[in-house]
Amino acid sequence: MVQWVPDPTFYPSPRLAAKAPAETLAYVATFCPERTAPDALAVVDVDPKSASYSKVVGHLDLPYAGDELHHFGWNACSSNLCPNAPHPHIERRYLIVPGLRSSRIYVIDTKPDPKSPTFFRIIEPQEIMEKTGYSRPHTVHCGPDGIYVSALGNADGGAPGGVFLIDHETFEVLGRWEVERGPQRLAYDMWWHLGYDTLVTSEWGTPNMVENGLVPEILLGAQYGRRLHFWDLHKRKHVQEIDFGPEQQLVFELRPAHDPTKAYGFVNAVISLKDLSASIWTWYRDGDKWAAKKVIEIPAEPADPDLLPPLLKGFKAVPPLVTDIDLSVDDKYLYVSCWGTGDLLQYDVSDPFAPKLAGRVRIGGIVSRASHPKAKGPLNGGPQMVEISRDGKRVYFTNSLYGAVDPQFYPEGIDGWMVKLDADPAGGISFDPDFFIAWPKTHRPHQIRLEGGDSSSDSYCFP
């Protein structure tokens, strides 16, 4: 008799996930900004006891050039234990890795040798466009009933963008998720409150609006994304829109509370047209509706125009450019990446409506070019894609935003790097002086996924 047991990296609750063993490997999406060589998935040793700690120990080159690997995710995670659509016998085994420019998706097998991942399947763009009408897959989340993928636009590079599903056993593209779209046209991130049958989506722009970088006329015309959309998860219908106003541009990363009994989450607005500040907003359930409140505002810093890229010289300031945020599994700390100034900020969000700054480090930055204990000389780029271990004690991040946007703010080009912070459970963060990876100049690192799961990959159905 064969006895099935759930994957040991699946946890019914965030409280139990926080007690999981520490990760020993990290998977990092890396891309060639010149699009002359294939992108790659790198495997990094993050075990301090290992002789190869803080080194790339595995590497999988993709077969094509020009994919631009971006946000990727696992095929399955703790949401597979949810009672509404349980699939407890699926493994967290495959990484679903989209090419944002090519619209190609790679299904990569991390088993049997986690340091030597292999291709399992390649989903070609034609299949995605034919079955969904979408292109430019952006964000991957493992849900209780399948793999959810957000896409920036339609097959022609225009609107609408949206969400489609992939079967998490066969990896067949099933089709477009939305039944009733309502007013939603732009897309970016998506996540959910499983306990409240609600899916949330945010906005960037269509492929035609973003593939050549930030277009000043579009940005100053307040035409990039500025809204949140709330959906009935099971009926797949749009139920509400929250407009942050034309001043707020690029409403990006969605980080709902991990505790399924809590109906709130955080989202960042990258830039304010009023004063170049960035902001963090809390969305929450208010009676029978959803509402949003600005809870953090991070101002721009005055700067010598001679030190600024052409895009910013007239403003005489460095915008923080909050391009990523991440919430610890215990919902206590929110980490905020300021890609412009070079700050990585830690906020205590035990009260989601009254965050308190608890920690700060600076590395890179448009003007500051702050270094690292293990680096040689000034660094460029800044804190960008950030990932937190399940126990909340380790924070990893990389420094590249997007191939077409990087040179707009760092005209000399970005030299890629990856670092790790140690996080004090009582608050405070500091660099691990032994962890600094300088990326080969041919490639830049972007998103990080941790072995066994991390703070932005799993969702839970039990408190």
pLDDT (0 to 100) of residue 85: 75
- Give CA–CA dist 303/308, Å, rounded: 8
Domains, the chain: 14-450 (2.130.10.10)
Give the pLDDT confidence of 189-214 residue by residue, as tens digits.
999 999 999 999 999 999 999 999 99
Lowest mean pLDDT among 2-6, 271-275, 283-287, 425-429: 2-6
Answering whether pTM is above 0.85, one says yes
Residue 301 confidence (pLDDT) above 90: yes
- Give CA–CA dist 415/428, Å, rounded: 27
Give the pLDDT confidence of 312-337 residue by residue, as tens digits.
999 999 999 999 999 999 999 999 99
Give the pLDDT confidence of 163-191 residue by residue, as tens digits.
999 999 999 999 999 999 999 999 999 99
H/E element, 406: helix 406-409
432 backbone φψ class: left, alpha, beta (φ>0; ψ -120 to 50): beta
Q: Tokens representing 232?
A: 């009935």
Between CA 170 and CA 153, with CA 254 as vertex, the angle to 5 degrees is 60
Give the pLDDT confidence of 332-356 residue by residue, as tens digits.
999 999 999 999 999 999 999 999 9
At position 280, the amino acid (one-letter code) is I
pLDDT (0 to 100) of residue 5: 83
Residues 6+ apart with CB under 8 A from 288: none
Mean pLDDT of 107-133: 98
